[in-house]
Amino acid sequence: MNVLDFIRKNADWCWLLTLEHIWIVALSVFLATLIAVPVGIVITRNEEIAKKVINTANILMTIPSIALFGIMLPILSLVGHGLGKVPAVIALVLYSQLPIIRNTYIAIKNVPPELVDAGRGLGMSNWRRLKEIEIPLAIPVIIAGLRTAVVMSIGIAAIAAYIGAGGLGVLIQQGIMRVYEEMIVSGAILVALLAIFVDAAMALLENFVTPKGIKIGRKLGQ
């Protein structure tokens, strides 16, 4: 099996598919973040609503990805977007809700109340307290949620090749159709590598955005 040969010969195409894959995932996680982080912050003010929102996101997460594509296809066909990138991005946005909302919610809930009180004592407004105390303390956990969402999205985007969204799944899809082993394996390996690589990069980002004070606190705690 000459997987490396295949990748070298089709380097341009593989590169293009990788970029397409990254583009789909980046766009959908960006959109998901825009929705999920504010929702996660708002629901910390009300337990009842938080429970319902997280349960709904949980149910969404339980739906198998290919089944969700299937269910959305006839609905989105009505507006002419049954196949292609649109349903893929919508599905990825829906799937990314749970990890991001849950992590944001938990992170903000876990900010020590004495710190919030201290902020109040300093005369900070609600908005400033959120901006200067709660979010900086919560951001490592929020990024961890994003990390889960991104890695999961990379996997689901590979399946989205079957509804014509493009990306590295195309290599697997066409490889299976042509029984072209090198193509299948190179597709699988590239997707796996992309996921592992992005996971590592997000771990670094997580470390990078953690405020210095928290890191020192952790070290002293140990």
Nearest distance from C-beta of residue 78 to other proteins, angstroms = 10
> Could you tell me if 53 and 43 are in contact, meaning their C-beta atoms sit under 8 angstroms apart?
yes
Q: Which span (125-133, 138-146, 181-189, 213-221) binds other proteins, by CB under 8 A?
A: 181-189
172 binding other proteins? (CB under 8 A): yes
- For residue 46, the one-letter residue type is N
Nearer Cβ to other proteins, position 36 or 198? 198
Q: Round to whole Å and give the CA distance between 60 and 36.
A: 14
* Number of other residues whose CB lies within 10 A of the CB of residue 159: 20
Residue 151, interface with other proteins (CB under 8 A)? Answer: yes
Nearer of residues 90 and 163 to other proteins, judged by Cβ: 163
Half-sphere exposure of 33 (CA within 13 A, CB side): 17
Can you tell me which of 22, 189, 206, 210 binds other proteins, judged by CB under 8 A?
Answer: 189
Toward other proteins, which CB reaches closer, 104 or 153? Answer: 153
* Helix, strand, coil share of the chain (percent; to 5): 85, 0, 15
96 near other proteins, rule: CB under 8 A: no
Q: Is 187 in the site for other proteins (CB under 8 A)?
A: yes
Burial of 64 (0-12, 13-18, 19+ CB in 10 A): exposed
Residues 45-84 that bind other proteins (CB under 8 A): 46, 48-49, 52, 59, 62-71, 73-75, 77, 83
* Cβ at position 200, least distance to other proteins in Å: 9
Kindly report the backbone phi and psi dihedral angles of residue 111, in degrees, each rounded to the nearest multiple of 5, phi listed first. Answer: -65, 125
Chain Cα centroid distance, residue 181: 30
What SS3 state is found at 165? coil
The binding site for other proteins (CB under 8 A) comprises: 1, 46, 48-49, 52, 59, 62-71, 73-75, 77, 83, 151, 154-156, 158-159, 162-163, 169, 172, 175-176, 181, 184-185, 187-189, 191-192, 195-196, 199
